[in-house]
Amino acid sequence: MSPGIRYPGGQGSARPSQSSLVDSSDISATAFIPTKEWITKLGNGDLAPDCFGGWSRVVEIIYGGVDVNGSVYIGVWLELGPASKISNSYKEGRPVITIRGGTERRPIRV
């Protein structure tokens, strides 16, 4: 693990597991299923999956709560670069599908 990389659970925590759905030289897709523990530990500075197939640093927690079925959820701002960020949300048990196309960070319509 690189210095300064932090997954929920604190410094040195292991990266949460994810499953590879598609993997080729041009495109890859992975699925990550957030757990209640992962969501409740997620904080500023932690890494979380972005929609481009990578993991980005959380810069702000926007909202969070528990739905009527008892599942926890959270909304965050993720850092994409020195002057850019994107929002994302995670809900307990709901798969997060991320897709990376080629060498650039760009979304691919599926």
User: pLDDT tens digit string along 2-32?
Assistant: 444 455 554 445 556 555 555 555 677 788 8
pLDDT at residue 106 is higher than 50: yes
Q: What is the CATH number of the domain that holds 97?
A: 2.30.30
Q: Is the dihedral of CA 54, 58, 63, 64 positive or negative?
A: positive
In a domain, 92, yes or no: yes
Give this prediction's pTM.
0.70
In a domain, 4, yes or no: no
Both tokens of 38, joined, read 């992962």
Beta strands per DSSP E along the chain: 6-7, 10-11, 19-23, 27-32, 47-49, 55-66, 72-81, 84-91, 96-101
Q: How far apart are CA 8 and CA 38, in angstroms?
A: 6
In a domain, 63, yes or no: yes
Domain total of the chain: 1
Q: Cα angle vertex 20, ends 11, 40, to 5°?
A: 35
Q: What is the pLDDT of residues 45-91, one digit of tens each?
A: 999 998 887 889 999 999 999 999 999 999 999 998 889 999 999 99
In a domain, 72, yes or no: yes
Say what the pLDDT of residue 9 is.
53
